Amino acid sequence: MDKATSGWISGFIGVLIFSGSLPATRTAVLQFDPVFLTVARAAIAGLLALALLLLLRQKRPAREDLVPLAVVAGGVVLGFPLLTALALQHVTSAHSIVFIGLLPLSTAIFGVIRGGERPRPAFWIFSGLGSAAVAGFALAQGLTASPAGDLLMLAAILVCGLGYAEGGRLSRTIGGWQVISWALVLSLPVMLAVSALYWPPNFAGIGAPAWLSLGYVSLFSMLIGFVFWYRGLAKGGIAAVGQLQLLQPFFGLALAAWLLREPVSWMMVVVTLAVIACVAGARRFAR
C-alpha cells in the first residue's frame, strides 16, 4: 500500500470516529456543565496519553516542538471542544454538524500557512463554493436558530483548522499519536486544576447517556480519533486528506437523527450534499 493511500484510509477512520463527537457532546451538555465537560474529557484523555507515553518509553519532544504542541492543545484539546460544547447549548447537533463543512477549507488555509502546501487555484474555487453553501445555510437559519450558537461554531472551526494543520505538520517528524498525546499531556495540569474547580457538587442527576457520551468524547474524540487523523494528514497531505472532513456532516446527521431523534431538515441534507460535491472537486486539485 502506498503512502498516500495509507494516509487516506487513516484519515477516513479518523473522520468516522469524529462523526460521533457532536451528537455525544450534545447529549453530555444536557447534564454536564460545558466547561466541566471540556476539561474533564481532556483530563481523562491526558491521563491515558501519559500512561501510553510512559509505557512505550517515548522521548520528550524537542524544545522547538513545544510551541507547536501548545498550538495543537489550544486548538483541538481546549478550543474546539469548549466552543462546540457552548454552541450546543444553543443549537442542535444536527444544526451544528453542517458547520463541519467549513473545516476542510479552514484546515487547508492553515495547511498553506503552517505546512507549506500549495494547492492549485481550482482547489480554492471548489472549497470556496462549499464554504459559501455553509454560510448561506447559516444565514437562512438565522431567524429560527441561534446567532450565538452559529458564531461559536464558526470560532470552533477556525481554531480546529489551525490545530489540525499544526498537528499534521508536526506529525511528519514526531508521529501522529505522539502529537496528540504530548498535546494532551502538555495541557493536563491545567485541565486537572480546572476540573477540580468546576467539579459538580454531586452526580446524582447524571444519567447513563451523559456518562457514555463523556466516555466517548474522552477516549475516541480526544485521543483515538486523532491517532488516525494526524497519521492521515502527515502521510496524505493536510489540504488533500483534510477534504475527508466533508463526509463528517453526512455521518453526523445520520447519528443525530438515529441516536438523538433530532429533526434533520431537507435543507440540512441538501447543503451537506452540496458541500460534499464541492470539496470532492477540491480534492482533485489539492496538489
Between 277 and 28, the more confident residue is 28
Interval 137-158: pLDDT, tens: 766 765 456 788 888 988 999 9
Chain CA centroid to CA 224, Å = 12
Q: For the chain, give the number of residues.
A: 287
Answer yes or no: is pLDDT of 131 > 60: yes
Top pLDDT among 40 and 203 is at 40
| Predicted pLDDT of residue 141 | 61
- List pLDDT tens digits, range 90-116: 887 767 777 777 888 888 888 888 767
For 15-30, b/e burial (b = at least 16 CB within 10 A) is: bbbbbbbbbbbbbbbe
Is 257 or 66 the better-scoring residue by pLDDT?
Answer: 66
Mean pLDDT score across all residues of the chain: 84
Chain segment 160-185, per-residue pLDDT in tens? 999 989 988 898 888 888 999 999 99
pLDDT of residue 102: 80
- The model's pLDDT over 227-259, given as tens digits with 9 standing for 90+, comes to 999 898 888 888 778 878 877 777 777 776 777
The pLDDT of residue 139: 65
Confidence of residue 31 (pLDDT cuts 50, 70, 90): very high
